Amino acid sequence: MKKTLLAGVALALPLSFAACSSAGLTPSEQAVAEANVEMSETVQKEVAELNKLTSIYIDAAALYKQAADIPDDTKSLKPALLELAKEKNMQRDLLQDRVLEMGGKPAEHGEALGTVHRGFTSLRTIIDNDTEVAMEEVLRGERYILDELNKAMPNTVTPETKQLLASLRTDAEAEISRLEQIDETI
């Protein structure tokens, strides 16, 4: 069993390095990714949780950028949504960095559900007021992120990950509050 596992790792390792290098890793991040670290089952589960969150953040950034192009009558909404998309990308980077620190391979793609959500948003704008749809979908996205962070918290064991998720949760709560205030003015 161990020989089969090592053979699989030996075959997959060059492919995973190629994928990491296309992600624009710094030399130190590349060294961490290349380190041959055997992860415990607990760490593997934590990495899986972080990668699930990473995929959600990838989708959120794409949704918020798409939503920024939707509003038709609220000029101040577009910059706010673009800034939120930028923040989600920075937070995604933090999650990916944490996965690398733990010896894992960070997720680089969103979830299929995120693609469906963005398509649904586009369809809704045909029928409804564009600005309201954009705000509703962005708020739904932030609430989903908050729910997923709350679900992930009990599944993490390392203090660094707990601290990262707590910080992301605080950010999501603040964004929801800020977006609800903007939504009231629309």
pLDDT of residue 129 exceeding 90, the answer is no
Fold of 40-185: Ferritin (1.20.1260)
Q: Using CA atoms in the order 64, 66, 72, 75, what is the torsion angle rounded to 10 degrees?
A: 50
Count other Cβ atoms within 10 Å, centred on residue 152.
21
**Cβ–Cβ under 8 Å, residues 14 and 34:** no
Task: Name the pLDDT band for 28 (thresholds 50, 70, 90).
Answer: low
- Tell me which of 19-23, 68-72, 128-132, 155-159 is least confident: 19-23
Of 98, 90, 76, residue with least CA distance to 152? 98
Q: Which helix (H) or strand (E) holds 71?
A: none
Question: Which pLDDT band holds residue 25 (cuts at 50, 70, 90)?
Answer: low
pTM for the model stands at 0.72
Tell me the two tokens of residue 23: 């992600």
Least-confidence region, from 7-21, 107-121, 133-147: 7-21
Taking the domains of the chain in order of start, what are their residue ranges? 1-36, 40-185
Q: What is the 3-state secondary structure (H, E, C) of 132-162?
A: HHHHHHHHHHHHHHHHHHHHHHHHCCCHHHH
pLDDT in tens, 155-166: 898 999 999 999
Report the percentage of the chain scoring pLDDT > 90.
43
What integer pLDDT is reported at residue 138 of this predicted model?
87
Higher pLDDT, 30 or 11: 30
Question: In angstroms, how far apart are the furthest CA atoms of the chain?
Answer: 62
